Homo-oligomer: A and B are copies of this chain.
Amino acid sequence: MARIVQKFGGTSVADMTRIKAVAVTVKRELDAGNQVAVVLSAMAGVTDQLVGYAAQTGSVFDAREYDVVVSTGEQVTVGLLALCLQNLGVTARSWLGWQVPISTDGVHGKARIKAIEAKELRRRMATGEVPVVAGFQGFGPDNRITTLGRGGSDTSAVALAAALEADRCDIYTDVEGVYTCDPRIVAKARKIDKITYEEMLELASLGAKVLQTRSVVLAMRMGVRLHVRSSYSDVPGTLVVDEDEIVEHEMVSGIAYSRDEAKITLVKVRDKPGVAAAIFGPLADASINVDMIVQNVSADGKATDITFTVPRGELKRTVETLEAKRKQLGYADLISDANVAKISVIGVGMRSHAGVAQRMFKTLGEKGINIQVISTSEIKVSVLVAEEYTELALRALHSAYGLDSE
């Protein structure tokens, strides 16, 4: 007997046919002798519609009322799934954030979960009852509904799994698991059976949007084992677990990419203490996330070139912000390039395998792909290349690290 939290996203509950299919999936787990709690998103598209309504009300934005409106999508699906489960003979009951309660802080629109009262849920699960819990929503200290921000249902599921001390948190989605690379680009991409939280985080933050980054961080911190799997089939998906659970580490687990990048170079910036703060301070104030940063050593010790990347959608704002500070920063020129992509090889195995970065540079060099910026972390090597080389680079690296399926 295992205790399992199952989370189904918007496409998995998009209409009544899909919700009924979810009920069958839940029942299968129960019939296997397990205790199950379910966390649901809203029907695909519904939250967007509600956000649209709220946006039409005017320029005054009160996140308290926004939360009242946008939290209704999950309320609908949990009630409907409870009914569908009952129709399969399963005892089920819906739970809203304020009923559990799922206590959050008071930051409406992007609240953080503080605590989940799980005793009553556990008592009911022990009798075979299935709690169907609304994702994305919580209960604030002001006696009002809060929401966790977009994609918050993953976080709800992980937090609930932790509170229930569940053996596993199954994240049902429209893909079969996490892949070694984007299968739309690399035909030989393989489904990964097991991956560490750290690797999953790097993949998630690089645009392999299977799991919300926040939920992976939470799972790692709380030690919740995640199982990313398909709501269309019952084949095993990808387990996201602690490093200890993985016996044999591949050198590289996966290759990720992001086209959401833009590069900026400030030419001949005065090379003196505090210049980096002078550049990146205003960007931070403008809530612009700077990612890769390279500072060239200056030949004469007086001026240096600084290159960095920002999300492509922020390029215009970034340029404006820096132009406004031009006098103060004293740079000679500002060059921007939106046609770049970030390619990353990821794997906890690199810690014990030398030469991962070297193989990356060599492989890209052989294909004639110029590396513009490099950044590394303990489990990741990322390079910035011209966007047009993205597919070529991914396929070459996927082969070079032995990830291709037979």
Contacts and interface: CB of A to CB of B under 8 A. Distances in A.
Interface string A32-68: 0000000000000000001001101111111011111
A96 interface: yes
A79 B87 contact: no
Interface in A1-57: 16, 19-20, 50, 53-54, 56-57
A99 interface: yes
A192 to B, nearest CB: 36
A72 B76 contact: yes
B84 A58 contact: yes
Copies in the complex: 2
Interface residues of A, number: 39
A383 B405 CA distance: 84
A75 interface: yes
Contact of A58 (B87, B99, B144): B87
Contacts of A93: 64-65
A171 interface: no
Contacts of A71: 75
A374 interface: no
A58 B76 contact: no
A45 B243 CA distance: 52
A213 interface: no
Nearest to A143: B99
Given A53-B16, A54-B79, A76-B53, A96 B84 contact: no
Contact of A96 (B64, B68, B80, B83): B68
